[in-house]
Structure 1
Amino acid sequence: MKKILLFASGSGSNVENIIQYFKNNDDVIVVSVFSNNINAKVLDRALKYNVPTVVFNKEELHDGVVLKKIIELQPDLIVLAGFLWKFPEHIIAKYPNKIINIHPALLPKYGGKGMYGMHVHQAVLNNHEIETGITIHYVNENYDEGEFIFQKSVNIEDCKTAEEIANKIHSLEHKYFPKIICNLIT
């Protein structure tokens, strides 16, 4: 059985989508959801599916506490699904090419520190882009610079607000993220 460990900081719609995608799969299991935000809605979403959760602070992420918990779970793949902190190099080194992230733009555009969620969509809108999309990539020591695994674009010429762009991006994320995870892990 292959094990997926999810990291998230916010509402967790991608996490819930991934859990639902694999809930009846006998070969893959979501072993836990880790979050840096005790008030994150993602924790409620995980508990709804009886997926254990772990909440940690910045010190625990960097001093080895989180790594110890990860090692105990023995994940085959670590998935950042709306996790907003930079992932520590000591965890990346322990799990080379086993940590992936999804970014709500076509990297290398609109990536880097501070470029997440609505910040990305607003920047795309402000620059009058006619398309945007998603990028799923391996995590390395720099924000949004790991090797690309998958990109999918969407036309946004009809979008007048960042919220409209966000809705199109969420549709792409929900359609493709679980499938790419499944391809990587099986």
Structure 2
Amino acid sequence: MRKILLFASGTGSNVENIIQYFKNHHDIIVVGVFTNNPHAKVLDKAKKHNVPTLIFNREELSEGFVLDKIIGIKPDLIVLAGFLWKMPEEIVAAYPNKIINIHPALLPKYGGKGMYGMKVHQTVLDNKEKETGITIHYVNEHYDEGEFIFQQKINIEDCASADEIANKIHELEHKHFPEIIEKLLTK
């Protein structure tokens, strides 16, 4: 049995999509959802699907508490699905090429500290890009700089708002993120 541990900070649409994708999978299971946000809607989604959760603060993340919890779970893959904090180097070092992230743009463009969610989509719109997309990548010690695993482009010339871009990106994320996770765990 392969185990996925999810990290998220917000509403958790990708988390719920991943949980549902693997719900009836015989070889892969979501074993937990960790969040830094005690008010995150992702907690409700995890509870709805009977997935255990952990809420932690910045100190617990940086001082080893979260790493100890991860070690106790022994995940095969750690998936950042809308997790906004940088992973500590100790966790990255303990799980080389076992932590992945999804970014709502075609990295290396529109990545780095502070570039997440609607900020990315608004910047893409403001720069009059004709296409954008998603990047799934390994996590290293820098924001959005890990080795790329997968990218998918989409035309956005018909989008008049950041919300319209976000909707197209969510469709890409929901289609491809679980498939890439499955490929990584079954190769």
Hey, what does 2:54 align to over in structure 1? 54
Hey, what does 1:124 align to over in structure 2? 124
Hey, what does 2:18 align to over in structure 1? 18
CA distance in 2, matches of 1:94, 1:88: 10
Q: Which runs of 5+ in 2 are unaligned?
A: none
CA distance in 1, matches of 2:48, 2:26: 19
Hey, what does 1:168 align to over in structure 2? 168
User: Which SS does the other structure have where 1:160 is aligned?
Assistant: coil
| Structure 2 residue 84 is matched with structure 1 residue 67 | no
CA distance in 2, matches of 1:67, 1:138: 18
How many residues were matched structurally? 186
Matches within 5 A, 1:15-164: 15-164=15-164
CA distance in 1, matches of 2:180, 2:26: 18
- TM score, norm. by length of structure 1: 1.00
User: Which SS does the other structure have where 1:136 is aligned?
Assistant: strand
Residue 120 (structure 1) shift: 0.1
**What whole-Å deviation, never above 9, does each CA across 1:153-177 have from its counterpart, x for those lacking one?**
0000000000000000000000000
CA distance in 2, matches of 1:95, 1:27: 21
CA distance in 2, matches of 1:70, 1:129: 39
Residue 26 (structure 1) shift: 1.1
Residue 33 (structure 1) shift: 0.1
User: Which SS does the other structure have where 2:86 is aligned?
Assistant: coil
Name the amino acid aligned to 1:181.
I
CA RMSD of aligned residues (A): 0.3
CA distance in 1, matches of 2:29, 2:156: 35
User: Which SS does the other structure have where 1:24 is aligned?
Assistant: coil
User: Which SS does the other structure have where 1:177 is aligned?
Assistant: helix
**What whole-Å deviation, never above 9, does each CA across 1:103-142 have from its counterpart, x for those lacking one?**
0000000000000000000000000000000000000000
CA distance in 1, matches of 2:66, 2:113: 22
Name the amino acid aligned to 2:143.
Y
CA distance in 2, matches of 1:78, 1:180: 13
CA distance in 2, matches of 1:87, 1:135: 18
Residue 54 (structure 1) shift: 0.3
User: Which SS does the other structure have where 2:168 is aligned?
Assistant: helix
Question: Runs (4+) of structure 1 moved beyond 6 Å?
Answer: none
User: Which SS does the other structure have where 2:3 is aligned?
Assistant: strand
Name the amino acid aligned to 1:141.
E
Q: Which runs of 5+ in 1 are unaligned?
A: none
CA distance in 1, matches of 2:42, 2:181: 19
User: Which SS does the other structure have where 1:120 is aligned?
Assistant: helix
CA distance in 2, matches of 1:56, 1:143: 20
